[in-house]
Amino acid sequence: MPSLTREQCLAYGSRLKERTILITGAGSGFGRETALAFANLGAKVVLGDVNLTGLAETVQMVHAAHGSGVAVSAKCDVTAWDDQVALFDLGKKTFGSIDIVLPNAGISEVGLLSDHAGSGDRPTPPDMTTLEVDLIGVLYTTRLALWHFEKDTRVDPGLQCVCFTGSLSTFYGANNGPMYGASKAGILGIVKGILDHCQDSGIRAVTVCPYFTKTGLMTDDFVHPNPKQGMCNMEDVVAAFVVSITDPDHNFGCWLIPDAQGVFRMETTGQLVGAEGARRPKAEKVSAKL
């Protein structure tokens, strides 16, 4: 699995210039940091979130750095189809096209399948919120991305891409997170499912898979299960987003950030993915207990 320096990750960053990039969950964490990085590379950004305070902060940060013509935003709950339709429409109306889409909004596990407290003598149905945000919302965003790409009437639309926010859970599942793990594993299913269409249409469909990174998702009580491994650096995660979208030589793959030591590209066409591909080569392991 090739390891990439941040410099290598940014090598094709100029491909983002003048592209319109739509990001869900842009009010915090990866969504915010990618919005800033993409704007730095000359892109226009269309930002949605349910958290309006966080969203306004992100927009303010982009505008402070690049002026007010670079970002538009709207409240967008990814579980609401109409919210997502409206966000895409806003981007199209403002900037003329939607070129790159990040179905990024996500939450950690809400409720546990194994928690039956309060059920009495009858089982109660599970709380499906995590699946609704982390998987159904992603499917909505993906459908809208493909619709907008198809309706693009430019002779040469240029770079078109759906860039998914996976996780190491995409390959390994998540302890105490059956729906989170199922949702993140589901991203590979989505990529596989749209592969032929994307190949035929010249669309990129790529996945960035970070391990634990300090964002709004990481509550203060979070304890890293393997402290020696270290948290991922936000700069590496952002670099992985940039290279996954822009690398002209690799499509349908996964870019992994398994620890504090940088970015790996998984050699895959999207047809062949497996847990073995997500591991570092043995010699590069930072801990024998990984």
Ligand X SMILES: NC(=O)c1ccc[n+]([C@@H]2O[C@H](COP(=O)([O-])OP(=O)(O)OC[C@H]3O[C@@H](n4cnc5c(N)ncnc54)[C@H](O)[C@@H]3O)[C@@H](O)[C@H]2O)c1
Sites of contact with ligand X (CB under 6 A): 24-25, 27-31, 49-51, 54, 76-79, 104-107, 133, 137, 165, 167, 210, 212-213, 215-218
In the chain the first and final C-alpha atoms are separated, in Å, by: 17
Looking at beta carbons only, is 78 or 273 nearer to ligand X? Answer: 78
Nearest residue (beta carbon) to ligand X = 29
Would the CA dihedral through 279, 282, 285, 290 be positive or negative? Answer: positive
CA dist., res. 50 & res. 25, Å (int): 7
CA–CA distance, 221 with 62 (Å, rounded to integer): 30
**Beta-carbon contacts of residue 208 (< 8 Å; ≥ 6 apart):** 163, 164, 165, 166, 237, 240, 241, 244, 254, 255, 257
CA distance 229 to 259: 6
Tokens 């609401």 found at? 80
Cα torsion 217, 146, 99, 185: sign: positive
CB distance 35 to 104 below 8 Å: no
* Residue with Cβ nearer ligand X (55 or 200): 55
Q: How far is the CB of 25 from ligand X (least distance, A)?
A: 3
Question: Judged by CB, which is closer to ligand X: 160, or 169?
Answer: 169
Query: Minimum distance between the CB of residue 86 and ligand X, rounded to whole angstroms?
Result: 13
CB of 281 to ligand X, least distance (A): 22
Q: Which is nearer to ligand X, 165 or 268 (CB)?
A: 165
Nearest to ligand X of 39, 76 (CB atom): 76
Distant-in-sequence contacts of 263-269, Cβ < 8 A, 24+ apart: 263/3, 263/4, 263/6, 263/9, 263/236, 263/239, 264/1, 264/2, 264/3, 264/4, 265/1, 265/2, 265/4, 266/1, 267/1, 267/2
- Between 4 and 74, whose beta carbon lies closer to ligand X? 74
- CA gap 247, 266 in Å, rounded: 13
What's the min distance (Å) between Cβ of 233 and ligand X? 12
Residue for token digits 């349910």? 50
CB of 206 to ligand X, least distance (A): 15
CB of 74 to ligand X, least distance (A): 11
Nearest distance, CB of residue 29 and ligand X, angstroms:
2
Least distance between ligand X and beta carbon 66 (Å): 21
1 vs 179 by CB, closer to ligand X = 179
Give the residue with the Cβ less far from ligand X, 201 or 226: 226
